[in-house]
Structure 1
Amino acid sequence: MEYEFLRDVTGVVKVRMSMDHEAVGHWFNEEVKENLALLDEVEAAAQALKGSERQWQRVGHEYTLWMDDEEIIIRANQLSFDDDGLEEGMSYYDEESLSFCGVEDFFAVVKAYRLFLQGK
């Protein structure tokens, strides 16, 4: 999972993710917005899930983060298309709205994000 942190013209940190993980970047950009308390909450939930079969989710304004002991799923809240009206062989492009990644990979990005913020 490749990622890049940058600042826009107003100084706000933006996260860009590699293909198949765009929703992770959108989650940081739309939900986290430099809110380290939210990252603390997600990390605490991950610790609580270790070694269990339980699941946890955090519903945000635009994206929902779902997690178990092994996997993170980030999904756009508006991702609910009815594809009955599509022609055969056609489908909606939703790569930017849904991402799956391992817990370790996700928290490597969280750690790098925190370090980037500290380097202001």
Structure 2
Amino acid sequence: MEYEFLRDLAGGVTVSMSMGHEAAAHWFNEEVQGDLAVLDEVEAAVAAVKGSERQWQRVGHEYTLWLDEEEVIIRANQLSFTGDEMEEGMSYYDEESLCFCGVEDFLAVAAAYRAFLQGR
């Protein structure tokens, strides 16, 4: 998973990620927005589910993050089609709205994000 952090003129941080992981970048940009308490909450949840069959989720304004012992899933909240909402033969492009990654990879990005924010 490749990523890049950019600081804008106002001091805000924007995350961009490689194809297939765009939803994770959007999660950092929309749900974290520099609030390290959000990362603290997710890291505590990772520790809480480790060694168990439990799952944890954090529903945000735009994106929901699910995790278990091995995997993190980030999905746009708007990505919930039910039944026959789309015409037959049509498909929904969700590459930028859904992301799967390993817990260790996600924690590595979170640690790099934290370090970037703190100027390390």
Same fold? TM cut 0.5: yes
Quick one: which amino acid aligns to residue 86 of structure 1? E
Matched, 1:114 2:114: yes
TM-score, structure 1 normalization = 0.93
User: Gaps spanning 5+ residues in structure 2: where?
Assistant: none
Q: Deviating runs (4+, > 2 A) in structure 1?
A: 81-88
Matched, 1:14 2:14: yes
Q: Give me the whole-angstrom Cα distance separating, in 2, the residues matched to 1:107 and 1:11.
A: 23
Matched residue, 2:52:
52
- More moved, 21-30 vs 6-15: 6-15
Q: CA deviation at 1:82?
A: 5.2
Matched residue, 1:105:
105
Q: Give me the whole-angstrom Cα distance separating, in 2, the residues matched to 1:14 and 1:5.
A: 6
SS of alignment partner, residue 105 of structure 2: helix
User: Gaps spanning 5+ residues in structure 1: where?
Assistant: none
Matched residue, 2:37:
37
Q: Sort the Cα spacing of 1:91 and 1:113 in 2 relative to 1 into closer, same or farther, 3 A.
A: same
Q: Give me the whole-angstrom Cα distance separating, in 2, the residues matched to 1:83 and 1:45.
A: 32
How big is each residue's C-alpha offset from its partner over 1:57-84, in whole Å with a ceiling of 9 and x where there is no partner? Answer: 0000000000000000000011023584
Asked if 2 retains the 8 angstrom alpha-carbon contact of 1:32 and 1:38, the reply is yes
Instruction: Indicate the RMSD between aligned Cα atoms, in angstroms.
Output: 1.5
